[in-house]
């Protein structure tokens, strides 16, 4: 006997096996369905390569019959794969009629990956002379299964211990001839083909009935009690006898008996199958229209620090245009803040100016209370307050100047976050957006205090993002390059012009550019974005 056999699976073989065995599971026959599975393409039936074992039986004066077989499917095979089927004799008890134990394996010939392993026991059979496939025509054979099977689509939760699935089948010599033609091999002269035909139905039970469409065949075992007869109706009966919640697998107890004698088992076995999750379904256009077309800012309450001018002012106005209610925080610019609020109200929005030194915890508490009294809630916090960006050589810099910037930028954000986060957590929703700068990555000279303060804000953002994510609170940064506001008035025009020409988009960021990034991070568009930087740099470094 040969100890190995080279196999090349083809699409026609997969289709032919599906037609013969009745296992027309979508994973094997539907390319579109298979493409959306974890395998990404049609999978060949695990039992298909095992049919070749019948050609590796030992030669002898009498045909051999399959007594026992077990197999474990480790990896899938696909049409187009070249496989190597190998058998090794493990034990041969004394006597010509003694059973012989073999181990077998199926490997991918190109990669060497082991796809299937198992054992089988064979012995000489005493059976009628006509119990082999002679010259019967494959054209006369249809499907082995007599019942019209529909593919089940059971989920793990829908399968219960004690569930039964049965179907009838009939074995014809023409089926053996069809199998031989399908495998393109010599006649089955050394092995009983009927047992292999019956074995193929293990695949049918898993792929069509239990669980069906979402099955991955894991392993099986079968013991044949007596030979099959041709042209007799048999019943393939399966009973679910175990479920594993941890692995999403089900086990089935298999019995094959003749229709005439239901109590007499011809074969008995076990099957284990994993019940996969169905392919992910993308939301329909109607669902997207209902939940995702708007920014989700209508009626939200936004508190923006340092909003009397610059980026904060523009951000407040843009939020209002999207239906948000805005609290315009200021420290010294009362007239400017009230002008921003008045402009929003004149355009049909809701806003009011509220004073607080963000570095003073008591004043922050008072401001938050005022916002809650006015609007009833806070949904979005924008930490934009900053001191100044006047350049100071390091040797002339006083620590008190650094401390002042840290108090406004970092301590201010700290104070605001600690006050509003409990309200976010109570509502199960919240957005925190902090304003940073590219200077933390590309520091200009004489800006130590500004860079130190903004760098600390980066760390605060990252830490809060991790800590608050489970509460559906996102924390992100908007990082802009130079924006021409009052903060940058100290920069000579010649330098501003040079920086603009060096920017790939040939312009500086506008306050609206930064404001749009803030609004985006507060909206439904960024509901799964946290701990991130949105770069508003016109193509300048740093790149992500």
CA proximity to 479, closest of 384, 359, 381: 384
Tell me the Ramachandran region of residue 238: left when phi exceeds 0, alpha when psi lies from -120 to 50, beta otherwise.
beta
Is the alpha carbon torsion for 270, 272, 275, 276 positive or negative?
A: negative
224's enclosing H/E stretch is strand 215-224
- Say how far apart CA 205 and CA 167 lie, in whole Å: 9
Burial class (CB in 10 A: 0-12, 13-18, 19+), 201: buried
Three-state DSSP state, 251: strand
Q: 218 is written with which tokens?
A: 């894991």
- Say how far apart CA 297 and CA 319 lie, in whole Å: 8
Name the phi and psi angles at 317, rounded to 5: -65, -40
C-alpha distances in angstroms, 520 versus 236, 405, 478, 530? 60, 27, 10, 12
Q: How many CB atoms lie within 10 A of CB 35?
A: 12
Q: Please say whether the beta carbons of 252 and 239 come within 8 A.
A: yes
Burial class (CB in 10 A: 0-12, 13-18, 19+), 155: middle
Residues 6+ apart with CB under 8 A from 323: 297, 298, 299, 300, 349
Q: In angstroms, how far is the first alpha carbon of the chain from the final one?
A: 63
* CA 446 to chain centroid: 48
- Say how far apart CA 321 and CA 316 lie, in whole Å: 9
265's enclosing H/E stretch is strand 265-275
- Say how far apart CA 468 and CA 36 lie, in whole Å: 34
Could you say which of 52, 64, 214, 450 is catalytic?
450
Q: Please say whether the beta carbons of 58 and 43 come within 8 A.
A: no
Asked about 450 being catalytic, the answer comes back as yes
Q: Please say whether the beta carbons of 317 and 309 come within 8 A.
A: no
- Active site members: 450
């Amino acid at each position: 006997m040969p100890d190995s056999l080279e196999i090349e699976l083809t699409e026609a073989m997969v289709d032919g096996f599906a037609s013969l065995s009745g296992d027309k599971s979508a994973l094997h026959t539907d390319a579109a369905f298979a493409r959306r599975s974890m395998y990404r393409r049609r999978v060949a039936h695990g039992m298909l390569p095992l049919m070749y074992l019948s050609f590796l039986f030992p030669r002898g004066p009498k045909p051999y019959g399959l007594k026992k077989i077990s197999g474990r499917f480790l990896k899938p095979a696909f049409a187009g794969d070249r496989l190597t089927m190998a058998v090794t004799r493990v034990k041969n008890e004394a006597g010509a009629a003694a059973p012989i134990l073999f181990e077998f394996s199926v490997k991918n010939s190109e990669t060497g990956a082991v796809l299937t392993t198992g054992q089988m026991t064979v012995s000489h059979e005493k059976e009628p002379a006509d119990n082999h496939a002679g010259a019967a025509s494959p054209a006369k054979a249809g499907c082995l299964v007599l019942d019209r099977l529909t593919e089940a689509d059971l989920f793990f939760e829908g399968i219960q211990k004690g569930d039964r699935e049965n179907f009838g089948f009939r074995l014809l010599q023409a089926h053996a001839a069809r199998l031989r033609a399908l495998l393109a091999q010599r006649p089955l002269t050394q092995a009983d083909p009927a047992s292999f035909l019956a074995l193929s139905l293990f695949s049918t039970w898993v792929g069509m009935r239990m669980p069906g469409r979402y099955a991955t065949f894991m392993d099986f075992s079968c013991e044949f009690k007596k030979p099959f007869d041709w042209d007799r109706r048999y019943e393939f009966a399966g009973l679910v006898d175990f479920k594993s919640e941890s692995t999403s697998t089900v086990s089935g107890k298999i019995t094959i008996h003749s229709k005439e004698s239901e109590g007499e088992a011809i074969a008995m076995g076990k099957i284990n199958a994993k019940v996969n999750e169905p392919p992910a379904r993308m939301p329909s256009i109607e669902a997207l229209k209902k939940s995702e077309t708007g920014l989700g800012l209508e009626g939200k309450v936004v508190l923006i620090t340092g909003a009397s001018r610059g980026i904060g002012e523009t951000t407040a106005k843009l939020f209002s245009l999207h239906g948000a209610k805005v609290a315009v925080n200021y420290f010294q610019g009362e007239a400017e803040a009230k002008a921003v609020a008045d402009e929003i109200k004149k355009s049909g929005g809701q806003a009011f100016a509220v004073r607080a030194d963000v570095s003073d915890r008591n004043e922050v508490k008072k401001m938050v209370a005022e916002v809650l009294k006015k609007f009833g809630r806070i949904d979005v916090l924008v930490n934009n307050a900053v001191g100044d960006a006047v350049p100071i050589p390091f040797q002339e810099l006083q620590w008190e100047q650094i401390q002042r910037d840290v108090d406004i930028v970092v301590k201010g954000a700290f104070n605001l976050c600690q006050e509003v986060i409990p309200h976010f957590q109570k509502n199960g929703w919240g957005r925190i957006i902090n304003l940073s700068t590219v200077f933390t990555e590309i520091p200009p000279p004489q800006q130590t205090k500004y860079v130190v303060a903004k760098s600390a804000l980066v760390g605060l953002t990252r830490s809060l993002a991790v800590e608050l994510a489970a509460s559906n609170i996102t924390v992100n940064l908007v990082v802009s390059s130079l924006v021409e506001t009052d903060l940058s008035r100290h920069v000579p025009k010649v330098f501003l012009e040079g920086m603009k020409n060096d920017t790939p988009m040939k312009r500086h960021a506008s306050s609206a550019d930064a404001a749009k990034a803030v609004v985006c991070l507060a909206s439904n568009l960024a509901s799964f974005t946290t701990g991130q930087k949105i770069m508003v740099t016109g193509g300048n470094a740093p790149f992500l």
